[in-house]
């Protein structure tokens, strides 16, 4: 499996999609997934797809005004995009996303006031929802704030291991200058609490999700060849 990074680009980020692809390729990534709340507004997506030597996929970050509206939004997006992510912006959103098999990745905030929780972890495991760890705070926070963030991340990791959930890691890049090489990102994950093999597998997880979603399924466990 190739290393894949999850990125935002212009207009939600500062760099164009093609600039992100070029930078990620130079750092050693096999691919990137560009996700946005409104993928149709991404600036010149075709230019990114023309960058040779790296796979570029477009996903969506589902968002809505309420958990009920978000569930409907996810259902409508599922058939249109190969990768559906949800930001864990509230307890209600986290719980709903973990219970929806149409969600590929739940990006958890690792907030001590909003822990993952046993019920959420069990639901994510049952519905094969991956838990995403945005390591941006590991790079930019300092002092007690970073220590509290790392403590919350490690508690979440314990539940992920207990319920055999596949995690994913990202640097949360919104500009090409925020990108980190796979080696650097895995090292950050290890400092945060991941085992070396866990960090490597987590950086490959987006690629696995894409591969599964691009296959044709007649029903649960039944693939059309």
CA distance 78 to 84: 7
Q: How confident is the model at residue 50 (pLDDT cuts 50, 70, 90)?
A: very high
Answer yes or no: is pLDDT of 221 > 80.
no
- What pLDDT shows up at residue 216? 63
Answer yes or no: is pLDDT of 220 > 70.
no
Answer yes or no: is pLDDT of 222 > 70.
no
What pTM was estimated for this model as a whole? 0.92
Say which residues have a Cβ less than 8 Å from residue 29's Cβ, sequence separation at least 6: 2, 3, 4, 5, 54, 182
Domain residue spans of the chain: 4-223
Q: Which CATH class is domain 4-223?
A: alpha beta
- What pLDDT shows up at residue 150? 93
Of the chain, the percentage scoring pLDDT greater than 90 comes to 76
CA distance 18 to 176: 10
- What pLDDT shows up at residue 127? 95
Structural contact between residues 48 and 34, judged by C-beta atoms closer than 8 angstroms:
yes
Q: How confident is the model at residue 89 (pLDDT cuts 50, 70, 90)?
A: confident
């Amino acid at each position: 499996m190739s290393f894949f990074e999850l990125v935002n680009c212009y207009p939600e980020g500062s760099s164009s999609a093609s600039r992100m692809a070029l930078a990620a390729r130079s750092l050693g990534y096999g691919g990137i997934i560009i996700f946005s709340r409104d993928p149709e507004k991404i600036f010149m997506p075709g230019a990114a797809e023309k960058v040779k030597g790296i796979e570029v996929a477009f996903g969506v970050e589902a968002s809505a005004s309420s958990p009920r509206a978000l569930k409907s939004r996810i259902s409508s997006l599922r058939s249109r995009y190969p990768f559906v992510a949800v930001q864990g912006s509230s307890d209600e959103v986290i719980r709903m996303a973990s219970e929806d098999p149409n969600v590929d990745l739940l990006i958890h905030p690792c907030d001590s006031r909003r822990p993952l929780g046993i019920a959420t972890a069990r639901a994510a495991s049952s519905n094969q929802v991956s838990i995403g760890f945005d390591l941006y705070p590991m790079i930019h926070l300092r002092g007690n704030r970073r220590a509290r963030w790392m403590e919350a991340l490690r508690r979440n990791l314990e539940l992920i291991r207990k319920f055999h959930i596949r995690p994913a890691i990202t640097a949360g890049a919104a500009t090409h200058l925020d990108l980190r090489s796979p080696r650097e990102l895995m090292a950050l994950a290890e400092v945060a609490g991941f085992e070396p093999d866990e960090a490597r597998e987590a950086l490959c997880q987006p690629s696995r999700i894409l591969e599964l979603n691009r296959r044709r399924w007649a029903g649960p466990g039944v693939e059309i060849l």
